[in-house]
Amino acid sequence: MNCNHCLTSGFADGHYVLPPLPYAPEALEPVLDAPTVLLHHDKHHAAYVAGANAAAETLRRVAAGDLAAEAAPAAAQLLAFNLGGHILHSLYWESLSPAPGGTPGGALADALNHSFGSYAGFETTFRAITLAVQGSGWGVLGVDPVSRRLCVLGVCRHQDVLLPGFAPLIACDVWEHAYYLRYHNNRAGYIDTFLKHIDWKKAEKRLTHICHDDE
């Protein structure tokens, strides 16, 4: 399985597809309740998959001359929004572990220490940036392609405030649909619980493959 398996499994036979949850919907108790997980995956994530396919189809029809070129800019915007949603949700499911996640080891621990000074420094940074995302968005830990350090981005919606070439490792959804049923308006409590249930093993694999892809 390569590092981006959770992303490439979202495409098959020429279309974006909804990847299955990597665990049972009730497996994330007590982080998230099964109704939240099921609605989030089967309705919200699925809607982004459908939206990405619709936008891609519009762009194909423009390229084929079946639609006026004027349809392309709006479709490109819709593709960025919906495919961004598909990518980040695919990563979100893989970011969470049904068991308490502990702390990272190996190269990822080294990278976090190098980039944030310590694991606590990472947590402080991630919590602050993710909590402060205005409205709907994401806290995303990933690799800055220029410095090769890890950084946290506060992504707005699914596609704003992203660096070209940024390679995401961990994504925390802070759209209200991700947490409102259980946490109500307590976004901070949700983020703290998320931090305790990160699947660091999978994140470490993603980091290893990102670094190897550079060689």
Give the residue from 204, 174, 175 showing the smallest Cα distance to 192.
Answer: 174
Neighbours of 105 (CB within 10 A): 11
Cα–Cα dist 182/20, whole Å:
23
Residue 68 makes CB contacts below 8 A (sequence gap 6+) with: 62
Q: Which is nearer to Mn ion, 41 or 206 (CB)?
A: 41
- Smallest gap from Cβ 158 to Mn ion, in A, equals 9
- Smallest gap from Cβ 213 to Mn ion, in A, equals 27
Question: Inter-axis angle of helices 72-95 and 200-213, to 10 degrees?
Answer: 130
Which range in 5-13, 53-61, 99-107, 169-177 contacts Mn ion by CB under 5 A?
169-177
- Smallest gap from Cβ 102 to Mn ion, in A, equals 25
Which range in 26-34, 42-50, 61-69, 124-132 contacts Mn ion by CB under 5 A?
42-50
- Work out whether 173 is an interface residue with Mn ion (CB under 5 A): yes
Cα–Cα dist 139/132, whole Å:
9
Q: Which of 175, 179, 194, 200 binds Mn ion (CB under 5 A)?
A: 175
Q: Which is nearer to Mn ion, 111 or 172 (CB)?
A: 172
- Work out whether 94 is an interface residue with Mn ion (CB under 5 A): no
Q: Which is nearer to Mn ion, 50 or 72 (CB)?
A: 50
C-alpha torsion angle, residues 171, 133, 73, 50 (rounded to 10): 50
- Smallest gap from Cβ 171 to Mn ion, in A, equals 10
- Work out whether 190 is an interface residue with Mn ion (CB under 5 A): no
Side chain identity at 62, as an amino acid letter? Answer: V
Q: What angle do CA 76, 141, 149 make, to 5 degrees?
A: 105
Interface contacts to Mn ion, rule CB under 5 A: 44, 173, 175, 178
